[in-house]
Structure 1
Amino acid sequence: MNSRDLVDLCFRNLLRRRTRTLLAVIGVVVGTCAIVVMMSIGFGLTDSYKEQIESYGNLHMITVMSNGDGAVMQKMKDAKGVINDKAINDMEKMKGVGAVTPVISENLVIGVGKKVAQTQVLGVRPEVLEKFNYKVLEGGRLLNSGDKYEILFGNQVPTWFQDPNSDQWSGEPLDVMSAKKMIVTGDDTYGQKKQNTGEKTDSDKVVYKQYDTRAIGVLENPDDDSAYCAYMNITALEDIAKELKKARKESTYSSGTKTYDEALVYVSDINDSAEISKQLRDQGYQTSSPSDWLESMKETAKMIQGILGGIGGISLLVAALGITNTMIMSIYERTKEIGVMKVIGANLRDIRKMFLLEAGLIGFIGGFVGLIFSFIVSLLMNTVLKDIISIALGSFGGGTGSAISRIPIWLAVAAVAFATGIGLMAGYYPAKRAMNLSALESLKNE
């Protein structure tokens, strides 16, 4: 019996008992649809988590902090976790690292006319900001190596400007790009009216230097950490920091080797972020990265996906039992037909193939139709039912992304293949039983 005859015979046998075949197919449809939809929710949750974390920070970025006071640790021989120029160079050589900058920070006051804003200013190497994929609003630019005291504003900082002598604060962002005169200083009382109490405190005696500056740009992202600080050329901020310590008469230990508050490491591939963070921690540093949160959330999504997929798997198991029952009943009804096939010389393998193919076809058809229904359900979940499901999934910390359900191509292919495989496995026992039937006994049975 050639393959074409075998396939034709299988289709005729399935169509001969339409109701039973239809019920078996429906079982596979329900099982396949349940698994695909449940798993698609898991993928949607993962995407939602990633989108949520990306809004809080760059997933490619790792913040590296020293394991204690840098100056004190530098004094200790072979101290680990010190961020200095050598450490920065070593980080740049690490596999998978795209860019590194040392970071120093100062809390400064920026003044424009009568309005002032207190903010943390970070000193960074200007040339790496573009590699860090920072984007600025139209009309601005990133820092470059020629900048001195120029300031790159975080997205939210312009909203902090207010008159320190007024109780009213509009919350409206100041157009810092159009400011004709702007100063930056370490004097946190800048712009405030001096109250004459007759006595001068130690802070009143400190004379702070004021630096002329200007805004060169405002960062685009309003949600991540960069939105709540300002950036300056690290060499310029080092000069300001020295002047502040001098004005405040602060005594600091100097080991002769420059140390930094922290470092920012840009990882080229976010999949390498966890490994690079581990290597840095092994070297004695503390690290923080949004990708760490993502890994934790992915584990949560996998757990939810496993539970939902298991529920769908039970449905497919029930469908497999239905296929087995259908094929066994088919053997009882076609006992004489099997006997005739054996008498006229049909190959035992052909008989086995026929029953396996019938079971496989039930699985394939059910899987394919189930996949179509899965895409329909997924579409409804992402449109009509989106708000309702978002509220339900909110308890898991997700459901806020653009898509609640996502069916990858590989899942679609795997679902049909799995359903077909389930059909073949469910048909194995009935096929073997049909092959082992005695020809004489089969012909006697009506």
Structure 2
Amino acid sequence: MAHSFFEDRDTTSNVTLTNMQDFKQVNDKLAEGTYPSKPNEIIVGYHFAQTLLNEEDRNIMAEKSKKAEAEGTYYDGRDEGYKESLIGQKIDLSLATHDDPNNETEKMTYTIVGIMEKPSYDWMIDSSIHMDKAQKAALAQSLALPEDELFYSEFNIFADTLENVKPILETLKEKGYSVYSVTEQLEQMNVFFLVLKMGLIFVGTIAVLIASIGIFNTMTMAVTERTREIGVLKAIGASPKLIQRLFLMESTFIGILGTLIAVVISYAISIAANIALPLILKAATGEDAFATNNITFSLIPWQLVLIAAAISIGVAMISGYRPARKATKIDVIQALRQEL
């Protein structure tokens, strides 16, 4: 653990020793600055400047935090801290162990040459310090500890491709290590969404069956009610194929009309969800990020619209096929004798 001093400000943060060449390859871009090229150069986290506070900042933060707590929210101190660039600035570090945090070492001076990129999670505050592993001897000497006792409590392992993450995790678990990876969270989310998709498919299948039965009954009633008209068409020379085509066109039109109505309603609900959900989440969590970020909660791709339209029209045509065939088999004389 390091206690950092800069002007009249200070902060505490964790120190990570790393091979800067390897770190540069896996981390690649920085938010600002470059990677260290000298032993006394370091990289700091994206929020390091924000956590550099003086007495005035701490008093303001205490008041804002108290007010936010009374409102049932949380204040992260984003308005306080050092607001200028830290690139090229020198800071003093004093070290302490987690077992004895009050016993700090003499101050050592380092130059900040790089700022890490903003963390993926909005709630995460990164105030860490990264320095080259060549500083291990100096840190051990400062703490009056053997280098072997300056062990790593955490390892960051980077895979070259996503496919190689799972084999690495399984190997580490077999060796008894406690591991964490975002891919495990993604797998859990994928299982949840798979179950949700299966449920939606089941509900959709039931809806399609009910719709097909409804169209079948509608077309059967249409054929029954228009028996005399069918007889007239046959009497004036209409072929069975033409009569069948007329009723198939009618059932197809029902499918097209239903598709248009469904698409309009779906997009209206999607737009309403994208507008309402951020406001609901903001009210529930007190986080302004939900209202300010451009988050898309609902998205309907055009491919899905085409697939849904094809299924809807196809089901309508299949449901109207038998009533259309029935219309072609109506006897002309009996149809003309039917009373209006």
Q: State the superposition RMSD in angstroms.
A: 4.3
Q: What code does the residue aligned with 1:232 have?
A: M
The TM-score, its normalising length taken from structure 1, stands at 0.55
Aligned to 1:20: none
Identity of aligned residues (%): 23
Aligned to 1:409: 302
Aligned to 1:6: none
Cα pair 1:120 1:229 within 8 Å, conserved: yes
Distance 1:108 1:439 in 2: 98
Aligned to 1:108: 2
Cα pair 1:176 1:215 within 8 Å, conserved: no
Distance 2:124 2:15 in 1: 12
The gaps in structure 2 that reach 5 residues or longer are 62-76
The TM-score, its normalising length taken from structure 2, stands at 0.70
Deviation at 1:279?
0.9
1:122 matched to 2:122: no
TM alignment of 1:219-238, pairs within 5 A: 219-221=116-118, 223=122, 227-236=126-135, 238=136
SS at match of 1:123: strand
Aligned to 2:273: 381
Deviation at 1:420?
0.8
Cα pair 2:51 2:127 within 8 Å, conserved: no
Q: Deviations over 1:119-146 (max 9, x none)?
A: 112233434447535441xxx31414x2
SS at match of 2:137: helix
1:150 matched to 2:41: yes
Cα pair 2:41 2:131 within 8 Å, conserved: yes
Deviation at 1:284?
3.1
Deviation at 1:433?
2.2
Q: What code does the residue aligned with 2:41 have?
A: E
TM alignment of 1:62-141, pairs within 5 A: 107-113=1-7, 115-127=9-21, 128-129=23-24, 132=27, 134-136=29-31, 140-141=32-33
Distance 1:360 1:248 in 2: 82
Distance 2:33 2:88 in 1: 16
Q: What code does the residue aligned with 1:277 have?
A: V
SS at match of 2:27: coil
SS at match of 1:262: coil
Deviation at 1:408?
1.2
Cα pair 1:108 1:185 within 8 Å, conserved: yes
Query: How has the CA–CA distance of structure 1 residues 377 and 160 changed in structure 2, closer, same or farther, with 3 Å as cutoff?
Result: closer
Cα pair 2:30 2:114 within 8 Å, conserved: no
Distance 2:129 2:167 in 1: 29
Q: Deviations over 1:286-327 (max 9, x none)?
A: 542223223323433454455566556655554433322221
Q: What code does the residue aligned with 2:272 have?
A: L
Deviation at 1:359?
0.7
SS at match of 1:299: helix
Deviation at 1:342?
5.0
Distance 1:251 1:406 in 2: 54
Query: How has the CA–CA distance of structure 1 residues 155 and 182 changed in structure 2, closer, same or farther, with 3 Å as cutoff?
Result: same
Cα pair 2:87 2:114 within 8 Å, conserved: no
Q: What code does the residue aligned with 1:429 have?
A: R
Query: How has the CA–CA distance of structure 1 residues 425 and 108 changed in structure 2, closer, same or farther, with 3 Å as cutoff?
Result: same
Query: How has the CA–CA distance of structure 1 residues 357 and 169 changed in structure 2, closer, same or farther, with 3 Å as cutoff?
Result: closer
Deviation at 1:231?
1.6
Aligned to 1:283: 171
Distance 1:203 1:373 in 2: 61
Deviation at 1:278?
1.9
The gaps in structure 1 that reach 5 residues or longer are 1-106, 190-201
Distance 1:392 1:319 in 2: 39
Distance 1:211 1:148 in 2: 12
Deviation at 1:277?
2.6
Aligned to 1:67: none
SS at match of 1:264: coil
Deviation at 1:157?
2.9
Query: How has the CA–CA distance of structure 1 residues 259 and 151 changed in structure 2, closer, same or farther, with 3 Å as cutoff?
Result: closer
Cα pair 1:150 1:215 within 8 Å, conserved: yes
SS at match of 2:13: strand
Cα pair 1:123 1:231 within 8 Å, conserved: yes
How many residues end up aligned between the 2 structures? 306
Distance 1:312 1:121 in 2: 54
2:111 to 195, 204, 214: 214
Query: How has the CA–CA distance of structure 1 residues 264 and 251 changed in structure 2, closer, same or farther, with 3 Å as cutoff?
Result: closer
1:173 matched to 2:61: no
Query: How has the CA–CA distance of structure 1 residues 157 and 390 changed in structure 2, closer, same or farther, with 3 Å as cutoff?
Result: closer
SS at match of 2:126: helix
1:297 matched to 2:181: no
Aligned to 2:328: 435
Distance 1:374 1:360 in 2: 21
By relative contact order (CA 8 Å, sep 6+), the higher-ranking structure is 1
SS at match of 1:368: helix
TM alignment of 1:213-362, pairs within 5 A: 213-221=110-118, 223=122, 227-236=126-135, 238-243=136-141, 247-249=144-146, 261-265=154-158, 272=162, 275-285=163-173, 287-304=179-196, 307=199, 317-339=209-231, 341=233, 347-362=239-254
Query: How has the CA–CA distance of structure 1 residues 134 and 121 changed in structure 2, closer, same or farther, with 3 Å as cutoff?
Result: farther
Query: How has the CA–CA distance of structure 1 residues 203 and 345 changed in structure 2, closer, same or farther, with 3 Å as cutoff?
Result: closer
